[in-house]
Amino acid sequence: MATLEARIHLASQSPRRRELLTQIGVRFDLLLFRGGPRADPETCEDALPGEAPEAYALRVAMAKARHGQQIQALRHLPQRIVLAADTTLDVDGEIIGKPRDDADALAILSRLSGRTHRVLTAVAVAYQGQIETRLSASEVRFRELSDAEMRRYVASGEPRDKAGAYGIQGRAAIFVAEIRGSFSGIAGLPLCETALLLRDFGYPI
């Protein structure tokens, strides 16, 4: 990883994470996992009984990075740094992930309206059998949302693939009254923590 042409493998389907890595000049190729009914069991995002939100985010990010390393070997790909991440919301100690459907998205937004929640994004970097993680924790306060604007937002389709049923970098920005922490972490990849992890593994950043 000692040249400026170094590349990593990004184990994520998130377009936000691609944009954020590009923003800081990290060169990457995608490692895509199977989704839907054929999803890889190694990257299952179901929470374990009694699992704390912080532990959940770190476990899932590590599982994705570890599985990314396995895919590199199975597909005979170049052995590069693998970067993975997971974002979840912590609302009263409860893990809130991606909405199951539009009705669930509306229920989540109703719960977030007029109050503060935590956004947790865990980053995992794996290389040559070693895995290191960082956790970004931020607070987001929503203003009071009307039923009509929540329904319009859900109808836009934007909440469907996002933890907590919203994207701060999209239309939901108008819901946010205050943030404390990392904007990029809330968007899905905390760039400060990510850069430090990549640097620890020898990536020139």
CA 179 to CA 116: how far, in whole Å? Answer: 9
76 φ, ψ (degrees, to nearest 5): 55, 45
User: In a structure prediction context, what are the per-residue pLDDT tens digits for the chain, which is 205 residues long?
Assistant: 444 458 999 999 899 999 999 999 999 999 987 665 545 777 788 999 999 999 999 999 999 999 999 999 999 999 999 999 999 999 999 999 999 999 999 999 999 999 999 999 999 999 998 999 999 999 999 999 999 999 999 999 999 999 999 999 999 999 999 999 999 999 999 999 999 999 999 999 8
On whether the 8-200 domain is CATH 3.40.50.300, my answer is: no
Q: Which of 40, 46, 86, 90 is catalytic?
A: 86
What is the domain partition of the chain in residue ranges? 8-200
pTM of the model: 0.91
- 104 an active-site residue? no
H-helix or E-strand spanning residue 180: strand 176-180
